[in-house]
C-alpha cells in the first residue's frame, strides 16, 4: 500500500509561491496556495497566472482541473490540513535598504495559529540572516511544536520552471534533520516526476541538465547563501559595466575584453555582460539588504555599496552617450524605447532600466514611445504621463530618430536591421543598451550605432 503524500500549503502567489504551488501540484501533492488578494486568486482559479512566465499557465490549469492546486484566502482551510507550509511572501526593501519583514512575521504568526504539532514551516522568502532564529523564538513563545527550515529559492524570472525542474542546488538549513529530510523528499518527488511535468508545461529538457545538489546547512548559513549568491552576480555585472566605461574612454571593446576574461574557468563568462545594468525584484533588494545586514552586524560592505552606485549610474550613462548625438538637447526629439521588462522572458518591471531610461529621456524633453511584448501593463504605473505606450515595434519606431533596445527580447534583437533603418528618420540611431548587436552590421544597414563600451 502506497504511503499517502504530504499536503502542502504555499503562502503567497508571487513568482516563487505560484511557481512552487504549480510544480508541487503537478508532482501529485495536494497544494493549497494562499493569498489575500481576491483578484489574484480568481485568475488562478481560472487556470492561469497573473504574470507572464513560460509554461506556467499550463501547469496551473492542469493543477486546478485535477483538484490538486487549490487557491484560497483561508489559513484555516489550508494550513490546518497541511504537513508542510511554505512561506513565499514578499520582502520589499525599506527606504534605508533594509528588508521589510512585516509580511514574513505576520505570515509565520498566522500560520502558527493553525499548524498541527510536528508540522514543518519552510521559509522560501529571501530574508536577512538571523530572521529564522526570530521566527523560531515566536513559535516557542506560542508553545508551538513547529519545525523550521530555511529553503532559499534560486529561481530566475523567465526561466522559473526550468530552474525548478532542472535545479543546480537545493539548500536546506535548520537544526532538525528529520524536518530537512521531509522537505528534501518533496523535491525528490518533483525531480522524479519532472519529465511528466515538463510535458505539461511544454518545456524541453536542457541539453546538459545539472546534477542537482542537495545542500544541508545551518539555519543562518542558508539565509546568507541566498543573498550572497545574488550579490556576487550583481557584482559581476557592475564590474563589467565599470570596465565598459573604461573601454569607451580607451577605445576598446568590452565584449572582446569580457569574452577573454570569462574564458578563465576561475571566472566564467556568466553575468559579465556590460549594458544598462540589472533590475528586478531580487538583485537590487538583495544587494541593499546585504549592505544593511552588514551594518547591523558592524561590517562595512563597501564593495557592495560600489555595486549599487555603478548600477544606478548606467541608464544615465547611456542617455548621456545618446545626448552627444543630439548636440546636447533631447528637447522634442522623438525616441523609441523598446523593452520595459527588467529582463526578457518576464513581465516584471520592478527597478527596470528600460523604464528608467524612458522616464529620464521624457524628463529631459524627449517625445518618448515605448513598446514591450509582455510588460506594458506592469510598466504603465511607473512611466511618466508623457510617455506614449505602443502595441507594436513598428508603431513605436514610426518617425523616431533613435531606438533604444533596452530589453533583449528575441524578436527585438532579431528584428531586421533594414527595417529599423527604414522606420527611423534623420539620425537613424540604434542604441544597443545590452550589447547584443554587431556594430558593423548595424552600420552596414545604414544606422548609427551606440553601445556600452563598444568601439
Is position 225 within any domain? no
- Please answer whether residues 147 and 108 qualify as being in contact, where contact means their C-beta atoms are separated by less than 8 angstroms: no
Q: Is the dihedral of CA 275, 280, 286, 289 positive or negative?
A: positive
Note the pLDDT of residue 119.
Answer: 96
Local structure of 334: helix, strand or coil: strand
Same domain, 277 and 197: no
Q: Which of 88, 282, 400, 433 is catalytic?
A: 282
Number of domains the chain is built from: 2
Same domain, 263 and 202: no
Is position 229 within any domain? no
Same domain, 99 and 179: yes
Extended beta strands in 203-350, E state? 213-217, 334-338
What residues contact residue 398 under an 8 Å CB cut-off, 6+ apart? 423
Same domain, 191 and 322: no
Q: CATH code at 198?
A: 3.40.50.720
Give the span between the Cα atoms of 170 and 180, in whole angstroms.
11
Domain boundary among 197, 217, 237: 217
Give the span between the Cα atoms of 131 and 121, in whole angstroms.
13
Is position 139 within any domain? yes
Q: Strands 31-34 and 147-150: what pairing?
A: unpaired
Residues of the chain with pLDDT under 50: 1-2
205 is in which domain, residue-wise? 8-217
- Please answer whether residues 164 and 23 qualify as being in contact, where contact means their C-beta atoms are separated by less than 8 angstroms: yes
- Give strand pairing partners of 8: 31, 84
Is position 223 within any domain? no
Note the pLDDT of residue 209.
Answer: 87
pLDDT, one tens digit per residue, over 50-79 is 988 999 999 999 999 999 999 999 999 999
Same domain, 29 and 98: yes
Is position 231 within any domain? no
Interior angle at CA 347, CA 345 and CA 349, nearest 5? 115
Burial class (CB in 10 A: 0-12, 13-18, 19+), 110: middle
Indicate the length of the chain as a whole number. 455
Same domain, 357 and 408: yes
Local structure of 175: helix, strand or coil: coil
Same domain, 333 and 416: yes
- Please answer whether residues 182 and 138 qualify as being in contact, where contact means their C-beta atoms are separated by less than 8 angstroms: no
pLDDT, one tens digit per residue, over 5-25 is 999 999 999 989 999 999 999
Is position 242 within any domain? no
Interior angle at CA 334, CA 331 and CA 336, nearest 5? 130
Give the span between the Cα atoms of 21 and 30, in whole angstroms.
9
Is position 148 within any domain? yes
Same domain, 352 and 402: yes
Note the pLDDT of residue 1.
Answer: 37
Please say if 433 is a catalytic residue: no
Local structure of 280: helix, strand or coil: coil
Same domain, 280 and 192: no
Interior angle at CA 332, CA 329 and CA 334, nearest 5? 100
Domain boundary among 193, 217, 241: 217
Same domain, 193 and 148: yes
Is position 59 within any domain? yes
CA 303 to chain centre: 22
Same domain, 298 and 180: no
What's the Cα-to-Cα distance from 234 to each of 102, 270, 280, 304, 313, rounded to whole Å?
26, 11, 11, 9, 14
Same domain, 206 and 273: no
Amino acid at each position: 500500500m502506497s504511503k499517502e503524500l504530504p499536503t502542502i500549503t504555499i503562502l503567497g502567489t508571487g513568482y516563487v509561491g505560484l511557481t512552487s504551488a504549480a510544480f508541487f501540484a503537478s508532482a501529485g501533492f495536494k497544494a493549497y496556495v494562499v493569498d489575500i488578494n481576491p483578484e489574484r486568486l480568481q485568475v488562478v482559479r481560472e487556470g492561469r497566472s497573473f504574470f507572464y512566465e513560460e509554461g506556467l499557465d499550463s501547469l496551473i490549469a492542469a493543477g486546478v482541473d485535477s483538484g490538486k492546486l487549490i487557491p484560497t484566502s483561508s489559513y484555516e482551510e489550508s494550513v490546518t490540513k497541511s504537513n508542510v507550509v511554505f512561506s513565499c511572501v514578499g520582502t520589499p526593501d525599506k527606504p534605508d535598504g533594509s528588508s521589510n519583514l512585516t509580511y514574513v512575521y505576520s505570515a509565520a504568526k498566522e500560520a502558527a495559529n493553525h499548524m498541527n504539532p510536528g508540522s514543518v514551516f519552510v521559509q522560501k522568502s529571501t530574508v536577512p540572516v538571523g530572521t529564522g532564529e526570530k521566527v523560531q523564538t515566536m513559535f516557542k513563545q506560542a508553545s508551538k511544536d513547529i519545525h523550521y527550515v530555511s529553503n532559499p529559492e534560486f529561481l530566475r524570472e523567465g526561466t522559473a520552471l526550468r530552474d525548478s525542474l532542472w535545479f543546480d542546488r537545493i539548500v536546506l538549513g535548520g537544526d532538525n534533520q528529520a524536518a530537512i529530510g521531509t522537505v528534501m523528499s518533496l523535491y525528490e518527488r518533483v525531480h522524479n516526476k519532472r519529465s511528466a511535468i515538463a510535458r505539461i508545461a511544454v518545456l524541453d529538457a536542457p541539453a546538459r541538465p545539472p546534477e542537482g545538489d542537495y545542500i544541508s546547512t545551518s539555519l543562518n548559513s542558508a539565509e546568507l547563501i541566498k543573498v550572497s549568491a545574488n550579490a556576487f552576480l550583481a557584482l559581476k555585472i557592475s564590474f563589467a559595466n565599470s570596465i565598459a566605461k573604461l573601454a569607451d574612454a580607451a577605445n576598446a571593446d568590452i565584449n572582446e575584453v569580457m569574452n577573454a576574461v570569462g574564458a578563465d574557468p576561475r571566472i566564467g563568462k556568466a553575468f559579465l555582460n556590460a549594458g544598462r545594468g540589472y533590475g528586478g525584484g531580487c538583485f537590487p533588494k538583495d544587494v541593499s539588504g546585504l549592505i544593511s545586514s552588514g551594518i547591523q552586524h558592524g561590517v562595512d560592505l563597501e564593495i557592495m555599496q560600489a555595486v549599487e552606485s555603478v548600477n544606478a549610474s548606467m541608464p544615465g550613462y547611456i542617455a548621456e552617450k545618446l545626448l552627444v548625438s543630439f548636440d546636447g538637447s533631447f528637447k522634442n526629439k522623438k525616441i523609441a524605447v523598446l523593452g520595459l521588462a527588467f529582463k526578457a522572458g518576464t513581465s516584471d518591471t520592478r527597478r527596470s532600466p528600460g523604464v528608467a531610461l524612458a522616464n529620464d529621456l521624457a524628463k529631459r524633453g524627449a517625445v518618448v514611445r515605448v513598446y514591450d511584448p509582455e510588460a506594458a501593463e506592469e510598466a504603465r504605473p511607473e512611466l511618466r504621463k508623457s510617455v506614449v505606450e505602443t502595441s507594436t515595434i513598428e508603431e513605436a519606431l514610426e518617425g523616431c530618430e533613435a531606438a533604444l533596445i533596452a530589453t533583449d527580447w528575441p524578436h527585438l534583437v532579431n528584428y531586421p536591421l533594414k527595417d529599423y533603418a527604414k522606420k527611423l528618420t534623420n539620425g537613424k540611431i540604434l542604441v544597443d543598451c545590452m550589447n547584443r548587436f554587431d556594430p558593423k552590421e548595424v552600420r552596414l544597414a545604414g544606422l548609427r550605432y551606440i553601445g556600452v563600451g563598444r568601439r
